[in-house]
């Protein structure tokens, strides 16, 4: 983190993390010289050295109870001091091209723009994917503080609501999405449960057709429409895995429903 000066804080970088000792150092290093403030909201359940690594890079580390991703992001927006807040995941990196573009944007952003979409490329097992919806995978991550907030009912793949317009940058985020097979299973299980809780909060109920229709639609969408076939065997396996977890989502949702609703 840059030393505090009398000038206003222009950019805060906020990271929400749990047990990210392996990744967070490189993430913070990728914004060295760019961020005026580094803020890490660390899940209190963390058991590794994430806090020590982040502090070594000059980050302010806050140990927070887990409230869900959108609530944590709103908390980070409230705690940040920058005119702009860049949200990163610990397994993401700001590329040099994106860093250069961010510097330019921060000094010349139109007053009508409240957020910027950033293209992201995903690495699965060390390989960049181009199909299946994994590229360009735009993320709304650069937000004007005070002009953006998150709907806390949506527990996964949350997107900020802006008071103004959004624009799109050209520089990329790099995302080390999955590096081991067990990570894929754990991550998607967590997402499926979070999505089920979101659907439950929105009043959604399971139907028998969901257990067939949702996986089939997801596989068709990713593998055929979004070109998952372009990534060969890996693309096939990933598209099939995500289709399977559509079924898992509705199984979780069924488990969350009151018995009287399931029997009615």
Per-residue pLDDT of the chain (264 residues; tens, 9 = 90+): 444 444 568 999 999 999 999 999 999 999 999 999 999 999 999 999 999 999 999 999 999 999 999 999 999 999 999 999 999 999 999 999 999 999 999 989 999 999 999 999 999 999 999 999 999 999 999 999 999 999 998 888 889 999 999 999 999 999 999 988 889 999 999 999 999 998 998 899 999 999 999 999 999 999 999 999 999 999 999 999 999 999 999 999 999 987 544 444
Does 118 fall in a domain? yes
Residue whose C-alpha is closest to residue 162's, from 113, 107, 110, 102: 113
Q: What would the two tokens of residue 257 be? A: 């429903």
Number of structural domains in the chain: 2
| Whether residues 37 and 117 fall in one domain | yes
d(CA 118, CA 167): 9
78 lies in the same domain as 205: no
The CATH code of the domain that includes 129 is 3.90.550.10
Q: What range does the domain containing 92 cover?
A: 11-177
Indicate whether this model's pTM tops 0.85: yes
Residues 143 and 40 in one domain: yes
- Is 23 inside a domain boundary? yes
**57 and 153 together in one domain:** yes
Helix, strand, or coil (residue 149): strand
- How far is residue 147's CA from residue 156's CA, in Å, rounded to a whole number? 21
Residue 6 placed within a domain = no
pLDDT digits (tens, 9 = 90+) for 50-77: 999 999 999 999 999 999 999 999 999 9
């Amino acid at each position: 983190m840059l030393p505090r000066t009398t000038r206003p804080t222009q950019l805060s970088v906020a990271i929400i993390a749990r047990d990210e000792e392996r990744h967070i150092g490189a993430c913070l290093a990728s914004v060295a010289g760019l961020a005026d403030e580094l803020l890490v909201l660390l899940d209190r359940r963390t058991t590794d050295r994430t806090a020590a690594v982040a502090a070594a890079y000059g980050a302010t580390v806050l140990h927070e109870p887990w409230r869900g991703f959108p609530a944590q992001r709103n908390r980070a927006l409230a705690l940040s001091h920058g005119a702009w807040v860049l949200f990163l995941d610990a397994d993401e990196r700001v590329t040099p091209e994106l860093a250069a573009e961010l510097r330019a944007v921060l000094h010349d952003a139109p007053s009508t723009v409240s957020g910027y979409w950033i293209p992201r490329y995903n690495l699965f097992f060390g390989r960049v994917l181009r199909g299946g919806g994994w590229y360009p995978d735009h993320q709304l991550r650069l937000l004007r503080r005070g002009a953006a907030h998150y709907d806390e009912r949506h527990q996964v793949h949350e997107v900020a609501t802006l008071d103004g317009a959004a624009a799109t940058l050209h520089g990329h985020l790099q995302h080390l999405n999955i590096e081991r097979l067990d990570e894929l299973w754990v991550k998607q299980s967590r997402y499926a449960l979070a999505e089920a809780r979101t659907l439950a909060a929105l009043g959604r109920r399971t139907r028998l057709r969901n257990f067939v229709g949702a996986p089939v639609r997801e596989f068709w969408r990713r593998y055929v429409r979004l070109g998952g076939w372009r990534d060969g065997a890996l693309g096939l396996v990933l598209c099939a895995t995500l289709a399977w977890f559509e079924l898992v989502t509705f199984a979780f949702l069924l488990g969350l429903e009151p018995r009287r609703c399931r029997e009615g």
